[in-house]
């Protein structure tokens, strides 16, 4: 990176042991993020040379592969290319005058048919940069800028943060951990060490071990959020001033718990389809509900286990999760397994119809994880839980054989641990779109749902974007009054019954009741239209979860085993 301010990375790739014509390729996606991103879009100025530096012909043969015409004597081929790296996200690469975040799949090409070969990486940094943070092992002790990966998968699964960022080193259970943070902020080193240690130990307690030699957390602080998991590291983005605001800091820690949970669930215990990877096309699985959904279930539960949440904070988190799913008409159209399979074209490519037609496998997967856990706890009288299923699968599939699991493995492990048939649960809630059995399942732990009364408040079923005093419709809820009447996304809402809309929700709606007919005036492609519609009632939502008045001993026992905290006594219930 001689000129990082230009965002250009100069890559020199050496094929050692080439045998004539060779093919190289750029991944079209990066594991953990299920979207074809076409990383080859940012490749330019490619050339190749042979054993004594003579130019070799290199030809692009499809969108992401190049063929080099070499001779048998060209045992060493060198390919040079540039990558434009200016997309700052956890899944892409970014270089500027201050630092570089390198996500391997968007920078390093692979040598076709040689993905299992050992890889060596040498980094050439601008003179003023002094720090490289990565989970890759140094090649040897002589050169701090040379790293080793046992194969291509490991190379692209090991991001780099490079520049003059801050590093915090600490040990947990005898293993070194590193927090690498780019970005001025208001965090405190010792608080981070203390809180990360709690999370790491809580997750170790679930899985039984820390399955790595060293772990690296990479953070870029700015205005974004999100994370991407790797086998020995993770990359997370967070807002800069997150660390002194309790609510924001809890969201941050929950993200840390999530990405770290993937150390086991997806990076080691992985479903068929997700590794070894084909970097040229989509990798399909029906099981993202397991690897992402259950990870989302545990990231919040771990906030309670690690002492960051009180039980009521956790119950609020479940309430929000339920409302998120129940507010989407998509729950009737798409199952968890379909959402997983179609992540590439639906979840990762949302549009105005997304909430009407799809669900999130994070959201519904977390809820199904909770329900499954409570069913197992109930069936085993509090003796067993979902973690026993995770440990069994981890042992059988990863530890014993290092092979991916099939869905039948999850089903049989769940039945083995709980001692009851689970096929109906799987067919209804994972492959089907049946309403989730919240009330009956939460009753097992002495909780009940408090729902709102729909009442006769007036409801249209639209969401808007406000811009310069204009109210542009961005979503029309399926089967709502607006949907039925033919109000469209992109329409500008001008007036209701002739009264100009000056705020949203329109204050005029308070004057009307469900069942009233009104005229909505909209501007569609610049032409005013009057649309008649019958107002409805807002859908029910859940106000919260509360504990039942007189819990049975069984309810109290399962509640306590589930949350790791005793049922509160009457006084402070």
Name the site residues for Zn ion (rule: CB under 5 A): 292
User: Is the distance from CB of 9 to CB of 107 less than 8 angstroms?
Assistant: yes
User: Among residues 195 and 292, whose Cβ is nearest to Zn ion?
Assistant: 292
Q: In what order do the strands lie in the sheet with 65-69?
A: 8-16, 76-84, 43-49, 55-62, 65-69, 22-25, 110-111
User: Among residues 226 and 544, whose Cβ is nearest to Zn ion?
Assistant: 226
User: Is the distance from CB of 33 to CB of 348 less than 8 angstroms?
Assistant: yes
* Shortest distance, position 229 Cβ to Zn ion, whole Å: 6
User: Among residues 292 and 342, whose Cβ is nearest to Zn ion?
Assistant: 292
Tokens (6 digits) for 268: 């080691």
Angle at 425 between CA 296 and CA 446, to 5 degrees: 70
User: Among residues 98 and 282, whose Cβ is nearest to Zn ion?
Assistant: 282
User: Is the distance from CB of 371 to CB of 441 less than 8 angstroms?
Assistant: yes
Query: Which position's Cβ is nearest Zn ion?
Result: 292
Question: To 10 degrees, the CA torsion angle through 195, 198, 202, 208?
Answer: 120
**Residues 487, 489, 490, 495, CA torsion sign:** positive
Angle at 324 between CA 316 and CA 376, to 5 degrees: 65
- What is the chain's Cα-based Rg? 27
* Shortest distance, position 39 Cβ to Zn ion, whole Å: 21
* Shortest distance, position 201 Cβ to Zn ion, whole Å: 20
Evaluate the omega torsion of the peptide bond into residue 281 and state whether it is cis, within 30 degrees of 0: no
* Shortest distance, position 422 Cβ to Zn ion, whole Å: 24
E strands, 375-461, in order: 447-451
* Shortest distance, position 360 Cβ to Zn ion, whole Å: 12
State how far the Cα of 89 lies from the Cα of 236, in Å rounded to an integer.
9
Local structure of 537: helix, strand or coil: coil
* Shortest distance, position 369 Cβ to Zn ion, whole Å: 13
Picking from 265, 330, 256, 264, the residue whose alpha carbon sits closest to that of residue 293 is 265
User: Among residues 119 and 135, whose Cβ is nearest to Zn ion?
Assistant: 135
Please name the residue ranges forming H helices in 262-341: 288, 294-305, 311-326, 336-341
User: Among residues 303 and 329, whose Cβ is nearest to Zn ion?
Assistant: 303
DSSP state of 130: -
User: Among residues 295 and 480, whose Cβ is nearest to Zn ion?
Assistant: 295
* Shortest distance, position 337 Cβ to Zn ion, whole Å: 17
Q: What is the 3-state secondary structure (H, E, C) of 419-454?
A: CCCCHHHHHHHHCCCCCCCHHHHHHCCCEEEEECCC
User: Among residues 292 and 378, whose Cβ is nearest to Zn ion?
Assistant: 292
User: Among residues 185 and 317, whose Cβ is nearest to Zn ion?
Assistant: 317
User: Among residues 64 and 317, whose Cβ is nearest to Zn ion?
Assistant: 317
Tokens (6 digits) for 444: 């097992």
* Shortest distance, position 257 Cβ to Zn ion, whole Å: 11
How many CB atoms lie under 10 A from the CB of residue 405? 21
User: Among residues 64 and 296, whose Cβ is nearest to Zn ion?
Assistant: 296
Picking from 142, 95, 136, 141, the residue whose alpha carbon sits closest to that of residue 119 is 136
**Residues 193, 195, 196, 202, CA torsion sign:** positive
User: Among residues 114 and 268, whose Cβ is nearest to Zn ion?
Assistant: 268
* Shortest distance, position 181 Cβ to Zn ion, whole Å: 20
Which residues are CB-contacts of 430 (< 8 A; sequence separation ≥ 6)? 289, 335, 336, 337, 368
User: Is the distance from CB of 48 to CB of 78 less than 8 angstroms?
Assistant: yes
State how far the Cα of 100 lies from the Cα of 91, in Å rounded to an integer.
13
Q: Which residue has the tokens 């009407």?
A: 356
User: Among residues 292 and 300, whose Cβ is nearest to Zn ion?
Assistant: 292
Q: Which helix (H) or strand (E) holds 191?
A: helix 189-207
* Shortest distance, position 228 Cβ to Zn ion, whole Å: 8
State how far the Cα of 116 lies from the Cα of 134, in Å rounded to an integer.
20
How many CB atoms lie under 10 A from the CB of residue 171? 10
User: Is the distance from CB of 152 to CB of 158 less than 8 angstroms?
Assistant: no
* Shortest distance, position 190 Cβ to Zn ion, whole Å: 28
* Shortest distance, position 265 Cβ to Zn ion, whole Å: 9
* Shortest distance, position 295 Cβ to Zn ion, whole Å: 5
User: Among residues 56 and 257, whose Cβ is nearest to Zn ion?
Assistant: 257
User: Among residues 182 and 362, whose Cβ is nearest to Zn ion?
Assistant: 362
DSSP state of 400: T
* Shortest distance, position 200 Cβ to Zn ion, whole Å: 17
* Shortest distance, position 438 Cβ to Zn ion, whole Å: 24
């Amino acid at each position: 990176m001689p000129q990082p301010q230009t965002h250009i990375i100069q890559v020199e790739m050496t094929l050692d042991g080439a045998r004539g014509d060779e093919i190289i390729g750029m991944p079209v996606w990066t594991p953990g993020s299920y979207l074809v991103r076409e990383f080859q879009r940012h490749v330019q100025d490619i050339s190749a040379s042979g054993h004594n530096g003579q130019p070799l012909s290199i030809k692009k043969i499809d969108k992401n592969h190049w063929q080099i015409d070499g001779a048998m004597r060209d045992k060493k081929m060198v390919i040079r290319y540039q990558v434009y790296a200016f997309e700052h996200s956890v899944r892409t690469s970014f270089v500027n005058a201050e630092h570089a975040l390198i996500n391997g799949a968007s920078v390093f090409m692979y040598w076709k048919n040689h993905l299992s070969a050992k890889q060596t990486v040498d980094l050439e940094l601008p003179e003023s940069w002094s720090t490289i943070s990565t989970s890759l092992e140094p090649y040897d002790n002589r050169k701090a800028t040379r790293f080793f990966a046992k194969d291509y998968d490991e190379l692209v699964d090991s991001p780099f943060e490079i520049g003059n960022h801050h590093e915090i080193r600490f040990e947990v259970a005898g293993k070194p951990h590193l927090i690498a943070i780019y970005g001025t902020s208001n965090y405190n080193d010792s608080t981070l060490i203390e809180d990360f240690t709690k999370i790491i130990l809580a997750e170790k307690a679930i899985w039984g071990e820390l399955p790595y030699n060293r772990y690296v957390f990479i953070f870029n602080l700015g205005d974004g959020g999100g994370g991407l998991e790797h086998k020995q590291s993770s990359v997370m983005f967070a807002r800069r001033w997150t660390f002194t605001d309790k609510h924001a800091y809890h969201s941050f820690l929950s993200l840390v718990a999530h990405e770290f949970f993937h150390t086991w669930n997806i990076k080691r215990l992985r479903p068929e389809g997700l590794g070894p990877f084909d970097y040229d096309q989509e990798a399909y699985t029906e099981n993202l509900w397991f690897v992402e959904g259950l990870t989302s279930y545990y990231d919040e539960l771990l906030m309670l286990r690690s002492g960051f949440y009180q039980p009521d904070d956790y119950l609020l988190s479940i309430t929000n999760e339920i409302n998120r799913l129940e507010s989407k008409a998509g729950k009737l159209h798409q199952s968890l397994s379909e959402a997983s399979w179609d992540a590439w074209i639906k979840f990762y490519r949302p549009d105005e119809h997304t909430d009407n037609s799809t669900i999130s496998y994070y959201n519904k997967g977390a809820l199904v994880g909770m329900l499954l856990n409570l069913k197992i706890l109930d069936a085993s009288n509090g003796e067993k839980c979902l973690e026993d299923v995770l440990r069994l699968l981890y042992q059988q599939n990863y530890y014993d054989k290092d092979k991916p699991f099939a869905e039948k493995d999850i089903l049989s492990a769940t039945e083995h641990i709980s001692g009851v048939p689970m096929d109906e649960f799987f067919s209804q809630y994972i492959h089907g779109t049946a309403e989730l059995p919240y009330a009956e399942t939460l009753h097992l732990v002495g909780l009940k749902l408090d729902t709102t009364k729909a009442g006769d408040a007036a409801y249209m079923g639209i969401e808007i974007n406000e811009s310069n005093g204009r109210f542009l419709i961005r979503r029309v809820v399926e089967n709502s009054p607006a949907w039925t009447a033919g109000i469209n996304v992109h329409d500008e809402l001008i007036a209701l019954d002739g009264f100009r809309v000056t705020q949203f929700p329109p204050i005029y709606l308070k004057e009307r009741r469900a069942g009233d007919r009104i005229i909505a005036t909209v501007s569609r492609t610049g032409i005013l239209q009057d649309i008649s519609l019958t107002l409805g009632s807002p859908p029910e939502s859940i106000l919260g979860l509360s504990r039942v008045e007189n819990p049975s001993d069984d309810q109290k026992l399962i509640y306590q085993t589930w949350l790791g905290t005793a049922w509160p006594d009457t006084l402070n219930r």
